[in-house]
Amino acid sequence: MPITELLEKNSRLYGKDSALVELNPEAHPRRVVWKEYNLIEATGASTFRKEITWEQFNERANRFANFLLSRNIGKGDKVAILLMNCLEWLPIYFGVLKTGALAVPLNFRYAADEINYCLSLAEVDMLVFGPEFIGRVEEIAGNLSKTRTLIYVGEGSCPTFAEDYFKVTHFCRDDNPDIEITDDDYAAIYFSSGTTGFPKAILHKHKSLMHSCKVEQNHHGQTKDDVFLCIPPLYHTGAKMHWFGSLISGGKAVLLKGTKPEDVLNAVSSEKCTIVWLLVPWAQDILNTLDRGELKLSNYNLSQWRLMHIGAQPVPKSLITRWLEYFPDHQYDTNYGLSESIGPGAVHLGVENVHKVGAIGVPGYGWQIKIVDPEGNEVTRGDVGELCLKGDGVMECYYNDAAATAATLKDGWLFTGDMAMQDEDGFIYLVDRKKDVIITGGENLYPVQIEDFISAHPAVKDVAVIGLPDARLGEIAAAIISVKEGMKCSEEEINSFCMGMPRYKRPRKIFFADVPRNPTGKIEKPLLRKIYGGEGLVASQNMS
């Protein structure tokens, strides 16, 4: 059945129960907010909190769906969502799905030209955006001929080039539009990228989303009584598909805006969270703060917290050892997946296999794996090859990119580009990668984009960007720069020049040296990693 029926079911069975809570520890003490589509003022609270029930969640999704239909947005159309995590995010997402249109989540870190590129590639008909993106959207608004409508979701004045979400949906019907949707209908387009940095549009059907729900609940056993703390951005398949465990069980989820250790522990304590998905840096920050004595677990109510799981980057075994010293009763899991496999769970460690930390795990519920050599033949267990996945969560294609689809999907198998081996017990380890993508704090960096930017500096002759291991972020970007003869350049100059890039893309280390290239002109990045990162640099994992 389509995933929208789960929301309808929860509204019928658990209508008055809490579905979503938004916590913002850094909210202003006095600000104007929307509640039930009326303006009110919130005062005094140190943590701003909003909440909706399953009934309200479904009604808001229905309002947006009926608004879309009134604008002739329906099956086959695409609606892009460019929002920070907020209480409106998921109702908007499900409102799109209820019309039979495709939801197209966008990375909130995209610059204006990247937003424009993705909207064009996915042939988007409407863009829904928040206050953080007014400048970026305004910059490209004149170019969005295909995108017929811009909808603003936020407080304060609506930009003149957009329509106000709360006003245009206020008088819309809140009943289900009853559009016939099947498992084989297209549901969503997510974005991913290879080493070139140009995003690929990943097309999924409703059956993929439902498969993800089943996988998540099977792996982590969510019940109606569980409360999921969601910190990562909802545009990411990892965050949303882990939340699907709450959707399928009818449990509450908490959207926390902030990653500070005290904010995480406060949220777990105050909202009685039982499941928390963390990225490695956030887990390390919690442990380091506890080590320094800046936080004391005795100050929080944490006895109900049963599961901590991690994905999106390599997980050091030492981190989990330390974690279990502070939280000896916690279950732990690692989750591996790609947006092409509808996010987490294609491979997972399993809560019963903490002794195998270091492995990404075994095939997930409803998934098959194989590891193959360059000719596509399965390798002997213990040998290294490319990891391939098969299951109902595999994408349909790269939208508008037949060549990339043919290179990635072969006879129903998804070729991940990750190099892996399987031990004698059947556990899978990632050992290398074909791609040069750098994963820092769970976010992808694309070396070519950074290289292109730095090469514009007048003193730069050549540049290569590689990933170096980092204890907190997994990897950081390092730039090796060859300076033009007769010119001088300093690290300070390069760092200043890179201020023109988004902060997360800026190199953390700068080296001045020759950039080695092979006879075909390609940068010899394995050699650079050996020189600057040491031998045995573990490739970042494509995990959610």
- Residue labelled with tokens 């969640």: 57
pLDDT band at 366 (very low <50, low <70, confident <90, very high): very high
Highest mean pLDDT of the ranges 169-183, 331-345, 428-442: 169-183
Burial class (CB in 10 A: 0-12, 13-18, 19+), 260: middle
Backbone angles phi, psi at 477, to 5 degrees: -85, 135
Model confidence at 185: pLDDT above 60: yes
The pLDDT of 459-482, averaged and rounded, is 90
At residue 350, what are phi and psi to the nearest 5 degrees?
95, 135
What is the reported pLDDT for 522?
65
Closest to 439 in 3D by CA, of 311, 263, 352: 311
| pLDDT tens, position by position, 4-36 | 999 999 999 999 999 999 999 876 444 444 444
SS3 516: coil
Cβ–Cβ < 8 Å for 119, 126: no
Structure tokens at 10: 């929860």
434 near 446, Cβ under 8 Å? Answer: no
Residue 313 pLDDT: 62
CA distances to 441, 462, 499 from 476, rounded to whole Å, are: 9, 20, 16
Contact in structure between 440 and 474 (CB atoms under 8 Å):
yes
Question: Exposed, middle or buried, 342 (CB in 10 Å: 0-12/13-18/19+)?
Answer: buried
Separation of alpha carbons 88 and 79, rounded Å: 15
d(CA 381, CA 478): 35
pLDDT band at residue 312 under the 50/70/90 scheme: low
pLDDT at 290: 94
Q: How far apart are CA 324 and CA 256, in angstroms?
A: 23
Name the one residue in this structure whose structure tokens are 């990375």.
107
With cut-offs at 50, 70 and 90, classify the pLDDT of residue 37.
Answer: very low
Largest alpha-carbon pair distance within the chain?
74
Structure tokens at 163: 């329509």
Residues sharing a CB contact under 8 Å with residue 539, sequence separation 6 or more, in sequence order: 418, 419, 430, 431, 432, 433
- Beta strands per DSSP E along 97-162: 102-105, 126-129, 149-152
Residue 396: which of 130, 535, 190 has the closest Cα? Answer: 190
What pLDDT is attached to residue 279? 84
Q: What is the pLDDT of residue 41?
A: 40
Rounded CA separation 208/188 (Å)? 10
Which homologous superfamily is 438-533 in?
ANL, C-terminal domain (3.30.300.30)
Beta strands 126-129 and 78-82, pairing class: parallel
pLDDT category at 357 given cuts 50, 70, 90 is: confident
362 or 354: whose pLDDT is higher?
362
DSSP bridge pairs for 203: 189, 397
Q: Where are the domains of the chain?
A: 438-533
Is the per-residue pLDDT at 523 higher than 90?
Answer: no
The larger pLDDT score, comparing residue 374 to residue 197, is at 374
How confident is the model over 346-351, as a mean pLDDT?
93
Instruction: Dig out the tokens for 503 from the structure.
Output: 């902060």
Residue whose tokens read 């989990």: 320
Residue 438, pLDDT score: 85
The set of residues, in sequence order, having a beta carbon less than 8 Å from that of 415 and lying 6+ positions away, is: 372, 386, 388, 407, 408, 409
pLDDT, tens digit, for every residue of 220-277?
999 999 999 999 999 988 889 999 999 999 999 999 998 899 999 999 999 999 999 9
State residue 202 phi and psi, 5-degree precision. Answer: -100, 115
Q: State the Cα–Cα distance between residues 401 and 262, nearest whole angstrom.
A: 45
Which parts of 361-415 fold into alpha helices (H)? 402-408
pLDDT band of 103, cuts 50, 70, 90: very high
Phi (first) and psi of residue 294, to 5 degrees: -75, -20
Q: Does residue 46 surpass a pLDDT of 80?
A: no
Residue 433 phi/psi, 5-degree rounding, is: -150, 155
pLDDT in tens, 110-164: 889 989 999 999 999 999 999 999 999 999 998 887 667 899 999 889 999 999 9
Residue 387 vs residue 42, higher pLDDT: 387
19: enclosing H helix or E strand: strand 18-24
Which carries the bigger pLDDT value, residue 46 or residue 68? 68
536 or 272, higher pLDDT: 272
pLDDT at residue 537 is higher than 80: no
pLDDT in tens, 78-90: 999 999 999 999 9
| Distance between CA atoms of residues 246 and 74, nearest Å | 27
Cα–chain-centroid distance for residue 270?
Answer: 25
Q: Residue 371 belongs to what H/E stretch? A: strand 368-372
Which pLDDT band, with edges at 50, 70 and 90, does 192 fall under?
A: confident
Q: Which region, left, alpha or beta, applies to residue 52 given φ > 0 means left and ψ of -120 to 50 means alpha? A: beta
The residue among 436 and 96 whose pLDDT is bigger is 96
Query: What does the pLDDT read at residue 442?
Result: 79
Point out the least confidently predicted range of 41-55, 124-138, 309-323, 347-361.
41-55
Per-residue pLDDT band at 510 (split at 50, 70, 90): very high
Using 50, 70 and 90 to split pLDDT, how confident is the model at 193? low
Token code pair at residue 430: 């990632």
Buried/exposed code over 196-219 (b: 16+ C-beta within 10 A; e: otherwise): ebbbbbbbbbbbbbbbbbbbbbbb
41, with CB counted inside 10 A (0-12, 13-18, 19+), is exposed
| Sole residue written with tokens 């059947």 | 426
The per-residue pLDDT for 19 is 97
Q: CA 262, CA 266: separation in Å to the nearest integer?
A: 6
Please report which confidence band the pLDDT of residue 43 belongs to, taking 50, 70 and 90 as the band edges: very low
Residue pLDDT, tens place only, 281-311: 788 889 989 988 999 999 999 999 999 998 7
Contacts of 12 (CB under 8 A, 6+ apart): none
Return d(Cα 401, Cα 200) in angstroms, integer: 8
Residue 365: closest CA among 525, 524, 156, 216: 216
On average, the pLDDT of the chain sits at: 88
Q: How confident is the model at residue 109 (pLDDT cuts 50, 70, 90)?
A: confident
420 phi, psi to nearest 5 deg: -145, 165
Q: Compute the half-sphere exposure of residue 323: CA atoms within 13 Å on the CB side of its CA.
A: 26
Q: Could you tell me how far CA 21 lies from the centroid of its own chain?
A: 19
Who's near 229: CB < 8 A, 6+ residues apart? Answer: 253, 254, 256, 264, 267, 268, 271, 273, 275, 276, 277
- The reported pLDDT for the residue numbered 429 is 87
Report the pLDDT value the prediction gives residue 147, as an integer from 0 to 100: 67
- pLDDT value for 520: 44
Say if CB 118 and CB 191 are below 8 A apart.
Answer: yes
